[in-house]
Amino acid sequence: MSPTDRAGSGLAVEQTLDWRSPEIAGLLERALAEDIGSGLPAKASAKAGDLTTDALFPSAIPARGTFVASQVMVVAGLPLVEQLYARLDPGIQFRRRVEEGEQVSRQALAEVEGDGRTLLRSERTALNFLQRLSGIATLTRRFVARLEGTQAQLRDTRKTTPGLRQLEKYAVRVGGGTNHRFGLFDAVLIKENHVQLAGGVAEAVRRAKAKYSAGPAIEVEVRDPGELEEALRAGAGLVLLDNMTVEQVDLAVEQIRGRARVEVSGGIRLENIRAYAAGPPPMVDATLRMLLLEGRLTSDSIRYDKFS
């Protein structure tokens, strides 16, 4: 299976978000407000506007702009930018030149046409979204490519930019990765601080199972063979092997012997992800290794230009 096939259809991923939802609309308005004060013309105030553009162009001026990739990248964020222009000026025409999720190199991504004042006012906001989301999708695709031929899946974390989690996790999916829990409300993950406050791994698992007897699988973060065995005997359905070397993970998988599903996090890089994913046969056949990149999918974004 190729990395592109593994990533799935960009269109299918695009349809997993409602781009006209109140949440997306609010995010766009806040982003615009950072640059032009009130965000939307309908909410004009004394501090709203683009001082430079307003001084140079008191009336509408026709213009056309093109978003161009300056290097190899996976495109993410086109539907968001399209909604940005629709909210700011319904008269702007936005035309895609590539598809969401497509890997491109030094070519036009989209064209915008309409009042040049709107294009100037929205240039940086549009670029920020495209650069950020495409950077995440591009880096994700690179990691996914390293997993080709293995049973491992790539998962993200909650280490996202405040306010942008929905979009950044979307970009991970565009790149071919999968999402871990979206927030604290949709999965049980017992971490080191939980264990310390509860008085041990077994007690923490017991309390979680008592609360959610028919709920989601209980996931426990473990750091050594002792904690791992304690979690397994307590009935954890998913264990997170944290900050372990490849050799330590291999030993842990043999210790688990199919008693729980496995995730690995910490210290995973492009250079070693393949080694983590390979694992000792036949144990990999009994466990699904899901690799969580601790924040890397959203902190090493690639910058692109340009708008011209």
Convert the pLDDT of each residue in 149-196 to its tens digit.
Answer: 888 889 999 999 999 999 999 999 999 999 999 999 999 999 999 999
Same domain as 138, residue 178: no
Q: Using the 3D structure, point to which of 129, 145, 161 is the last residue of a domain.
A: 145
Q: Does residue 106 fall inside a structural domain? A: yes
Q: Does pLDDT of 280 surpass 70? A: no
CA 89 to chain centre: 28
Q: Which two tokens stand for residue 233?
A: 């005997």
Is residue 129 domain-shared with residue 213, that is, in the same domain? no
Quick one: pLDDT at residue 302?
Answer: 44
**Same domain flag for 123 and 244:** no
Predicted local confidence at residue 38, as pLDDT: 64
Q: Tell me how crowded residue 210 is: count the other CB atoms within 10 A of its CB.
A: 8
Residues with catalytic roles: 124, 159, 191, 221, 242
| Alpha-carbon span 267 to 19, nearest angstrom | 35
Question: What would the two tokens of residue 155 be?
Answer: 């998962």
Who contacts 73 (Cβ-Cβ below 8 Å, separation ≥6)? 103, 104, 105, 134, 135, 137, 138, 302, 304
| Residues 6+ positions from 16 with CB-CB distance below 8 Å | 170, 173
Q: Residue with structure tokens 């979206």?
A: 182
| Residue 303 DSSP symbol | P
Query: Domain limits at 47?
Result: 3-145
